[in-house]
Amino acid sequence: MTWWHDAVFYQIYPRSFLDTDGDGVGDLGGILKKMPYLAWLGVDALWITPIYPSPMRDFSYDISDYCDVDPLFGTLDDFDQIIAKAHEAGIHVILDWVPNHTSSDHPWFQEARSSRTNPKRDWYVWKEPTSDGKLPNNWLRSWSDQPAWTLDDETGQFYLHCFLPEQPDLNWANIDVRDAMAETLRFWLRRGIDGFRMDVVHLIGKDPAMPDDPEDLVAIGHVPLNDRPEAHVYLKGIRKVLEEFDGERTSVGEVYLLDPEVVATYYGQADELHMSFNFASLFTPWRAASWVETITRTESSHNAVGAWPTWTLSNHDNKRIASRLDGDPMKTRSAAILVLTLRGTPFLYAGEELGLEDAIIPPERVVDPGLRDPCRAPLPWTNERLHGWPSDPWLPFAERPNDFSVETQEHDSASMLNFVRSLLSIRKASTALRQGSLNELRDDNGVLHYRRESSDEVVDVYINFAKEPRPITFLPGSTWLLSSSGVKVPASGQLLLVPGDSVIVRVSP
Ligand code: NOJ
């Protein structure tokens, strides 16, 4: 077991975390300022989404320089300070890395598009129009029904972009691209970063024949359809770069393939990704039977290849869990129990500890081409008009900001914030929850049950997904650790668990 097996990661989308220079956009200064809060909360690692120089068409997922910080966010020096301060607090830091595409403003692409004979031409994916002047294939880009190809008028070829036309795909089949990208990893590893979250990393391997996607699946876009052996070869190279440093640097891949069995193959034989996101958990409906299925499939697919699972319920691309649960506070707490007690590494999205919901974005404030603004609303820190932000933030706050603010919740022992903090500390103190096996998974008439077991401890979790109260009988000697409603296990060992409630008990010792 290394640190990242045990860690609870906390995802920061810097634009929305906290601004310190008054331009309305969160920055590295905001992260530095809130380091004591993160240490108090008890998270073990931060995942910081991109802060690279960028024209911001996809908010720094369109990178124009892999080895710098956009002035909007701060400086390299600020980033060094984040690493230093986080490490002082015992918190690890990983940074987003975007290997599949650059910005069309990146000097590499500027060179590549300048002529067919430019030495960097082959760093991107170019194709001739078909003989009747049509697109090279039927691939669609994300977030639209538009082709993944744009014709470069000057040079008469199409280039590939699985996202925006301003995000051309790199050609990983070219060894110079692989070498240059390895250097970008080394740049941050030398600065002391603990690893990377790797953006749509399965996409770097492409079928050189570029065949059409199956007609019945074209509409979902090419990204979730791209599962290729080439990616595994490149990932082995990436893993070696991380291992040049020490055995402690990690990677978590965004393998946006929706089948856990396929995702698990991206761990290789412990020679590809250290971890991969398990998106099944983001899309599992709030039903005990559905969770039994997701957990079973995750456990069996990962165990089969010796891979360590991850769990996540929210991120900067998807509706927040509290909104998916219609703002029901009890269910939102139970969801936190779920994600923090399953076997594997949990990833929390900033604001999840407050039970924050998505914001309502009026049409004139929409800025994201993928329409993901609602889950990127700024964090409310205080109860003043601007909620701790020095000026109006780039997106509106979610509704009832004072109810969800850190200021309100930190002083209320019954708040979601203090609930999540207790849960994190219970998890930290429990070898069963951090490292134990997961057994006795079942759906008992709408109550999800599983047992976490290490050599010195047994912990049981029960979550009532049913719409009615359900009786639970605990093993003799069980001690209460936490419940969503605050209900404790009575001496009789019998409890009527109300709808949405969940309870964690220690069975032994
Ligand atoms: C996945 C990231 O999570 C998303 O925010 C981004 O827009 C795309 N990859 C493209 O980089």
Instruction: Retrieve residue 208's tokens.
Output: 């050189």
At 492, the pLDDT band (50, 70, 90 cuts) reads: confident
| Distance from the alpha carbon of residue 61 to the mean position of ligand 1, in angstroms | 6
- What is the per-residue pLDDT for 398? 98
**Averaged pLDDT, 131-140:** 93
Instruction: Retrieve residue 146's tokens.
Output: 């538009």
- What is the per-residue pLDDT for 246? 86
Query: What domains, with CATH codes, occur in the chain?
Result: 3-102+174-427 (3.20.20.80), 107-160 (3.90.400.10), 436-507 (2.60.40.1180)
Query: Is the CB of 169 inside a 6 Å radius of any atom of ligand 1?
Result: no
> In this structure, what are the phi and psi dihedrals at residue 115, rounded to the nearest 5 degrees?
-165, 160
Say if residue 509's pLDDT is above 80.
no
The DSSP secondary-structure symbol of 357 reads P
At 476, the pLDDT band (50, 70, 90 cuts) reads: confident
For the chain, give the percent of residues with pLDDT over 90. Answer: 95
Say if residue 32's pLDDT is above 90.
yes
| Distance from the alpha carbon of residue 458 to the mean position of ligand 1, in angstroms | 39
Say if residue 489's pLDDT is above 90.
no
Mean pLDDT score across all residues of the chain: 97
Query: Is the CB of 61 inside a 6 Å radius of any atom of ligand 1?
Result: yes
Nearest to 161 by CA among 112, 232, 94: 112
- Helix (H, G, I), strand (E, B), or coil: what is residue 107? helix
- What separation, in Å, do the N-terminal and C-terminal C-alpha atoms of the chain show? 23
Query: Is the CB of 397 inside a 6 Å radius of any atom of ligand 1?
Result: no
Nearest to 459 by CA among 338, 299, 332, 341: 341
Query: Is the CB of 200 inside a 6 Å radius of any atom of ligand 1?
Result: yes
Check if the beta carbon of residue 122 is closer than 8 Å to that of residue 169. no
Check if the beta carbon of residue 438 is closer than 8 Å to that of residue 311. no
77-82 — which CB contacts under 8 Å span 24+ positions?
78/27, 78/28, 78/29, 78/32, 79/28, 79/51, 79/191, 80/191, 80/192, 81/28, 81/32, 82/28, 82/31, 82/32, 82/35, 82/48
Q: How many CB atoms lie within 10 A of CB 328?
A: 16
At 52, the pLDDT band (50, 70, 90 cuts) reads: very high
Evaluate the omega torsion of the peptide bond into residue 50 and state whether it is cis, within 30 degrees of 0.
no
In this structure, of 231-245, 311-325, 360-374, 478-492, the range with the lowest mean pLDDT score is 478-492
Query: Is the CB of 56 inside a 6 Å radius of any atom of ligand 1?
Result: no
Span 55-92, pLDDT tens digits: 999 999 999 999 999 999 999 999 999 999 999 999 99
Query: Is the CB of 317 inside a 6 Å radius of any atom of ligand 1?
Result: yes
Higher pLDDT among residues 493 and 471, named by residue: 471
**Averaged pLDDT, 138-167:** 97
Residue environment code for 178-192, b if the CB has 16+ CB neighbours within 10 A, otherwise e: beebbebbeebbeee
Ligand 1: which of 12, 52, 61, 226 to mutate, most ligand atoms within 8 Å of CB? 61
Instruction: Retrieve residue 115's tokens.
Output: 């002529």
Say if residue 462's pLDDT is above 80.
yes
CA distance linking residue 56 with residue 53, whole number of Å: 8
| Distance from the alpha carbon of residue 374 to the mean position of ligand 1, in angstroms | 15
* 435 residue type, one letter: Q
**E strand or H helix at 435, and its extent?**
helix 431-435
What string of DSSP letters covers 190-223? HTT--EEEETTGGGGS--TT-PPPPTTTGGG-SG
Query: Is the CB of 143 inside a 6 Å radius of any atom of ligand 1?
Result: no
- What is the per-residue pLDDT for 491? 82
Taking the C-alpha atoms of 33, 36, 42 and 43 in order, what is their torsion angle to the nearest 10 degrees? 30
In this structure, of 14-18, 127-131, 395-399, 452-456, the range with the lowest mean pLDDT score is 127-131
| Distance from the alpha carbon of residue 200 to the mean position of ligand 1, in angstroms | 7
User: What atom in ligand 1 is closest to the CA of residue 256?
Assistant: 1
The DSSP secondary-structure symbol of 426 reads H
Nearest to 201 by CA among 331, 98, 289: 98
Nearest to 251 by CA among 209, 298, 307, 213: 307
Instruction: Retrieve residue 201's tokens.
Output: 């990393």
At 288, the pLDDT band (50, 70, 90 cuts) reads: very high
> In this structure, what are the phi and psi dihedrals at residue 467, rounded to the nearest 5 degrees?
-85, -5
Q: Whose CA is nearest to atom 8 of ligand 1?
A: 61
Say if residue 184's pLDDT is above 80.
yes
Check if the beta carbon of residue 458 is closer than 8 Å to that of residue 425. no
Say if residue 258's pLDDT is above 80.
no
The catalytic residues are 199, 244
Span 98-127, pLDDT tens digits: 999 999 999 999 999 999 999 999 999 999
- What is the per-residue pLDDT for 260? 86
Nearest to 477 by CA among 453, 462, 496, 457: 457
Strands 9-12 and 345-349 turn out to be parallel
Span 380-434, pLDDT tens digits: 999 999 999 999 999 999 999 999 999 999 999 999 999 999 999 999 999 999 9
Say if residue 366's pLDDT is above 80.
yes
**For the whole model, what pTM was predicted?**
0.98
Say if residue 162's pLDDT is above 90.
yes
Q: Whose CA is nearest to atom 10 of ligand 1?
A: 61
| Distance from the alpha carbon of residue 119 to the mean position of ligand 1, in angstroms | 28
Check if the beta carbon of residue 478 is closer than 8 Å to that of residue 507. yes
